[in-house]
Amino acid sequence: MSEMNGKSEIEKKISHGIEAAAAANKPLTAEEQATAGFFKQLLGFWVTFRTMFKKVNTVNYPEVKEPTADRFHGRHQLNRYDDGLEKCIGCELCAWACPADAILVEAGDNTEDERFSPGERYGKVYQINYLRCVFCGLCIEACPTRALTMTNEYELADDKRDKLIFEKEDLLAPLRLGMIPAPHPMYPGTTDTDYYRGAIKGPHPDQEVKK
Amino acid sequence: MTPEALTEVEMITVVIDGFEVTVPKGTLVIRAAEKLGIQIPRFCDHPLLSPAGACRQCLVDIEINGRAFPKPQASCTIPVENGMIVKTQLTSPVAEKAQKGIMELLLINHPLDCPVCDKGGECPLQNQAMSNGQGVSRYEGVKRTYEKPVAISSQVLLDRERCVLCARCTRFSEEIAGDPFITLNERGALQQVGIYEKDPFQSYYSGNTVQICPVGALTGASYRFRARPFDLISVDSACEHCASGCAMRTDIRRGKTLRRLAGDDALVNQEWNCDKGRWAFKYLTSRERVAAPMVRGEDGELHETSWPEAIAAVVAGLAGKRAGVLVGGRVTREDAYGYSKFARVALKTNDIDFRARAHSVEEAEFLSSTAISLHTNYLDIDKADQVYLVDFEPEEESPIVFLRIYKQVRKRGISVSTNAPIISSGNHKLKAVRADISSVQLTEKSVILVGERAAETAGTLSAAKALAEKSGAKLAWISRRAGERAALEMGVIGNLLPGGRPVSDAAARVDMATAWGVKDLPTTAGRDTTGILKALSTDKSLGAVIVGGVDPMDISSDALTSLLDSFVVSLEISHSAVTAIADVVLPVAAVVEKRGTFVDWTGKPRSFDKAIADALTRSDVRILSMIADAMGAPINLPTVSATQREIESLGVWDGARASFTLVASSATPTVSGSEAMLYSYRQLLDLGALQMGEENLAGTARASVARISAARATALGVVDGDSVKISSQTGSVTLPVLISEIADEFIWAPRNSVDSQLIPTLGITHGSVTVVKA
């Protein structure tokens, strides 16, 4: 830094800034007010006037709702295969990836009698704490089976803290036409690999659990 | 190691990645590299197992005196030599390429299971694939698949697809546990771990194979899909199941124990533990846990109440009555001290005993005069020329002691002999022979291991002590339960005060009275467990009893009825036979919920911390302190730490030890016809209270059989599998027969296993019974 007139370059700049700020804050003198006539004031209103004819960006929320961007990070969803089996395998990678520690997963063991997902393992307990979630989406990136995705739903305010801890049944995707709710067996003659490859396009009548 | 031993070892200097390191001769290259902080990737290498060179992951470039090996060599099988120059993956592109190639080959058939695999997150294969593998696979074929998972026992699940054939599990089973039930079958790409069809994988140490598996091929059924490593809080702890003194690691998830692993203590359990220590922890979270203090109301039922009311009920119940204390063998040193001080200061009695099992006056004297100052340890076993077992079954009663003896039997061929009439399957692995206590020949380097069952036969402890004195052999007393040695040292026995001070010694009493700030201490030696029960039931000289974790069925079939007429205070973790009849039940902290110290059989303290940090249950000593305060005779032990400080400040007794009057051995009774002498011990996995609720563990318990000799089988006209009925005056048990190496006049049955609970049925655990074909 060079030394000039006993003041460094940066000190000079700072003092210029302070002077400029002080000048801007100073009230107008009577002389200045007299020179700023009616037209000058009208020029100020012009900005307001012009805006009145512009396209409106706000909507009358909540009566009117605009769709979000396609990839908006909203509430999570736990997806299903096309026959209704859950995609979540309880691997906890989402919980591991979560920077806010908002996800809690406890896995369970699929049995022949009670199968929730293809393969050996399923998510028995699945909770997302929306008081903690920062909607960063690292969890859905981590998910190895695309079980966890995010919807565009953003209306997540509530009046009790415990209502904002979403359980597995709150997060599971709704059953689409033809899907059989888990637990039920895998599509006859297939393995978990077929499910992961996307070969299951719908349920088979044999998968219906007889009660 | 002694200084002499150190100087004998020849030291060798090698250069690894340009750094010089000096190590003892025989050190493996991979270990020498570790000493420099150079990590060579490996799967099959384990410092406690013999080198195998099975996985080939640790390939390095080696040259000796300028002559290089033509190909990279496995650093886990090559010992260092003078003039050796080693280049690891860090400096040699050849070694790096070789390691990457091996990793790629290992991963060809390894399934992409990580998200569903229990090892995920703590997997050496995952970690080393990241650190020493390459990012992509060139393999485009179909991976080899197998049926999965295969339950090779009720505890251990095998996934053959994930196996990298490192042979750690098979080497462990063969070299450490001596149970070669698990082996490598087939060859080439189809090679796989398997079990012998006839013998299921029923090892008491099978959990160690799960712990050392470098991939997720072997997993524990109890921990299946329970958590990921980042969910767990790991706490160093000590094992509460036996007196071996294993260091443990307890893994907690959200206040619940999910897993226990063997800790690392080279002088004690090395890196192993038994399946009971590993998997028997369901009792901690059982529904039977006592949740709140309970007082028996006028309606005869127990009602939950507040702590002040429960304490007041205890004080009211104890008022005007003489009381005894039955502690049980599972307490920590601090809790034992609390009971001991409470009995002497608050109850003003010496009627206190930790022995909830067969016991005798001879044993009390042996313990207080001799056992309390014994410090024979694992290193003595390592150096022994011979081990003599006196009423002690190492594999069943102290499994880590068994591992140490087995190690020396394998390594140095030391001889093992036992006074038992039977060569059990554990002792069979030790190549043990039967030898009478009066005729066995020992030297100064021998070790005599005396079990708690020695108290059952009069004269055995006297003979063992005499044998040790005559031969100069080292003597050790090994209780089955974890808390007995500590209880003995803390004076939870009628004839001793804390620190081994004899009650009969006036100076010792003054010593303790001063320390405790009381005028005097009771002068007469206290009654033992049997004496206390008798005083409560028949002569009514005691009107109340404080009971710790005692199962009356461990003492005798009528022990519970002896308690019925008196005021019973039960300090328990779970509802039991005693809480069912107790007047006041006070819940206490289980081992993961408190701090404390166990003392193992060598006299070594094994301290542990509270594993569940926010547990609200209280240690026994705190509750006793509250009762004593309310009684107006404070013992001032508000916390475990305060108790530890007080124990430290007391020190041990340096005066004369309690006396020991030798007892002559009783003559061996003769049997004839259908009569037989019953011999029994508890199996490691049985109906013990701390194993409750763990079905997977119970599935590997040894089957209940009656063991008889071939001659008796011929006489009875039975073959293996036929049933025999064993009867005493009070009842009988019927068990399938297994013809074994047992003396003709004896019959063996498990003491507390399924279908064979001897105390409730036969009323006896040893002595004369009638055996007929069922």
Q: What's residue A2's pLDDT?
A: 45
- Contact at CB, B225 and A93, closer than 8 angstroms: no
Enter the DSSP assignment of B265. B
- pLDDT higher than threshold 90 for residue B428: yes
Closest Cα partner for B358 from B497, B556, B163?
B556
Instruction: Give the residue on B whose Cα is nearest the Cα of A90.
Output: B116
Q: What's residue B12's pLDDT?
A: 94
Instruction: Give the residue on B whose Cα is nearest the Cα of A104.
Output: B231
Answer yes or no: are the C-beta atoms of B178 and B406 closer than 8 Å.
yes
Answer yes or no: are the C-beta atoms of B615 and B255 closer than 8 Å.
yes
pLDDT band at B262 (very low <50, low <70, confident <90, very high): very high
Report whether CATH 3.40.50.300 matches the domain A76-207: no
Residue B149 one-letter amino acid: P
- pLDDT higher than threshold 50 for residue B2: no
B148 touches chain A (CB under 8 A): yes
User: In whole angstroms, what is the distance from residue B154 CA to residue B162 CA?
Assistant: 20
3-class SS string, B410-448: HHHCCEEEECCCECCHHHHHCCCEECCCCCCCCCCCCEE
Q: What's residue B199's pLDDT?
A: 67
User: In whole angstroms, what is the distance from residue B5 CA to residue A198 CA?
Assistant: 66
Strand B706-708 and strand B584-587: the pairing is unpaired
* Neighbouring residues of B289: CB distance < 8 A, sequence distance ≥ 6: B573, B574, B575, B587, B590
| B201 compared with B581, residue with greater pLDDT | B581
pLDDT band at B184 (very low <50, low <70, confident <90, very high): confident
Q: What's residue A1's pLDDT?
A: 43
**Domains of chain A by residue range:** 7-51, 76-207
User: In whole angstroms, what is the distance from residue A91 CA to residue B116 CA?
Assistant: 6
Answer yes or no: are the C-beta atoms of B428 and B422 closer than 8 Å.
no
Q: What number is the ipTM of this complex?
A: 0.85
Answer yes or no: are the C-beta atoms of B736 and B722 closer than 8 Å.
yes
Instruction: Give the residue on B whose Cα is nearest the Cα of A117.
Output: B116
Residue B40, SS3? coil
* Neighbouring residues of A198: CB distance < 8 A, sequence distance ≥ 6: none
* CA A186 to each of CA A89, A118, A203, B149: distance values in angstroms, whole numbers, following the listed order: 14, 6, 9, 18
Residue entry with tokens 């009925």: B725
Burial of residue B253 (CB within 10 Å: 0-12, 13-18, 19+) is: middle
Closest Cα partner for A118 from A89, A148, A144, A75?
A89
CA–CA min distance B139, chain A (Å): 18
pLDDT band at B336 (very low <50, low <70, confident <90, very high): very high
- pLDDT higher than threshold 60 for residue B5: no
User: In whole angstroms, what is the distance from residue B684 CA to residue B699 CA?
Assistant: 13
Enter the DSSP assignment of B670. P
A-B interface: how many C-beta pairs under 8 angstroms?
A: 34
On chain B, the residues whose CB falls within 8 A of the CB of A127 are: none
Q: Residue B225: which of A95, A121, A145 has the nearest Cβ?
A: A121
- pLDDT higher than threshold 50 for residue A32: yes
pLDDT band at B54 (very low <50, low <70, confident <90, very high): very high
- Contact at CB, A109 and B115, closer than 8 angstroms: no
Q: Residue A90: which of B148, B225, B230 has the nearest Cβ?
A: B225
* CA B89 to each of CA B96, B355, B661: distance values in angstroms, whole numbers, following the listed order: 4, 59, 68
Max Cα–Cα distance, chain A, nearest Å: 95
pLDDT band at B3 (very low <50, low <70, confident <90, very high): very low
User: In whole angstroms, what is the distance from residue B344 CA to residue A199 CA?
Assistant: 76
Report residue B587: phi and psi, to 5°: -75, 135
Answer yes or no: are the C-beta atoms of B583 and B318 closer than 8 Å.
no
Answer yes or no: are the C-beta atoms of B583 and B563 closer than 8 Å.
no
Q: What's residue B413's pLDDT?
A: 95
- Contact at CB, B226 and A106, closer than 8 angstroms: yes
Q: What region does B505 belong to: left with phi over 0, alpha with psi -120 to 50, or beta?
A: beta
Q: Mean of the pLDDT values across residues B243-259?
A: 94
Instruction: Give the residue on B whose Cα is nearest the Cα of A123.
Output: B225
Burial of residue B623 (CB within 10 Å: 0-12, 13-18, 19+) is: buried
- pLDDT higher than threshold 50 for residue A70: yes
B121 touches chain A (CB under 8 A): yes
Instruction: Give the residue on B whose Cα is nearest the Cα of A105.
Output: B227
Answer yes or no: are the C-beta atoms of B765 and B678 closer than 8 Å.
yes
Tokens of A112: 């022949």
When scoring A86, A106, A125, A193 by the number of chain B Cβ atoms within 10 A, the one with the most, hence best to mutate, is A106
User: In whole angstroms, what is the distance from residue B132 CA to residue B670 CA?
Assistant: 70
When scoring B118, B159, B219, B225 by the number of chain A Cβ atoms within 10 A, the one with the most, hence best to mutate, is B225
CA dihedral B273, B117, B109, B51 (to 10 degrees): -20
Q: What's residue A9's pLDDT?
A: 83
User: In whole angstroms, what is the distance from residue B115 CA to residue B131 CA?
Assistant: 19
State CA B634 to chain mean position distance.
Answer: 35
The whole-chain average pLDDT of chain B stands at 92
Enter the DSSP assignment of B451. E
pLDDT band at B748 (very low <50, low <70, confident <90, very high): very high
Q: What's residue B4's pLDDT?
A: 47
Q: What's residue A206's pLDDT?
A: 86
CA dihedral B371, B372, B376, B378 (to 10 degrees): 100
- Contact at CB, B115 and A108, closer than 8 angstroms: no
- What confidence tens digit (pLDDT) does each residue in B62-108 have? 999 989 999 999 999 999 999 999 999 999 999 999 999 999 999 99
Q: What's residue B202's pLDDT?
A: 80
pLDDT band at B731 (very low <50, low <70, confident <90, very high): very high
The whole-chain average pLDDT of chain A stands at 89
Enter the DSSP assignment of B174. I
The b/e string for B303-315 (b: 16+ C-beta within 10 A; e otherwise) is eebeeeebbbbbb
On chain A, the residues whose CB falls within 8 A of the CB of B116 are: 89-91, 119-121
- pLDDT higher than threshold 70 for residue A162: yes
CA–CA min distance A90, chain B (Å): 7
Counting every residue, how long is chain B?
Answer: 774
pLDDT band at B194 (very low <50, low <70, confident <90, very high): confident
Q: What's residue A36's pLDDT?
A: 67
What DSSP letter does each residue of B271-284 carry, written as one string?
A: T---HHHHH--GGG
Enter the DSSP assignment of A100. T
- Contact at CB, A120 and B148, closer than 8 angstroms: yes
User: In whole angstroms, what is the distance from residue B196 CA to residue A32 CA?
Assistant: 104
Max Cα–Cα distance, chain B, nearest Å: 92
How many Cβ atoms from other residues are within 10 Å of residue B613's Cβ? 11
- The residues on A that touch B, with CB distances below 8 Å, are 89-93, 95-96, 106-109, 119-121, 144-145
On chain B, the residues whose CB falls within 8 A of the CB of A108 are: 225
Q: What's residue B683's pLDDT?
A: 95
What is the number of alpha carbons within 13 Å of residue B4 lying toward its C-beta?
0
Q: Residue B115: which of A95, A106, A144 has the nearest Cβ?
A: A144
Residue A87 one-letter amino acid: K
Q: What share of chain B in percent tops pLDDT 90?
A: 83
Q: What region does A162 belong to: left with phi over 0, alpha with psi -120 to 50, or beta?
A: alpha
What DSSP letter does each residue of A104-127 carry, written as one string?
A: EEEEEE--SSS-SSSSSEEEEEEE
Report residue B282: phi and psi, to 5°: -65, -25
Q: What's residue B1's pLDDT?
A: 44
Tokens of B124: 């050496």
- What confidence tens digit (pLDDT) does each residue in B280-313 have? 999 988 888 999 999 999 999 999 999 999 999 9
User: In whole angstroms, what is the distance from residue B545 CA to residue B554 CA?
Assistant: 17
Cβ within 8 Å of A, B 302-361: none
- Contact at CB, A92 and B225, closer than 8 angstroms: no
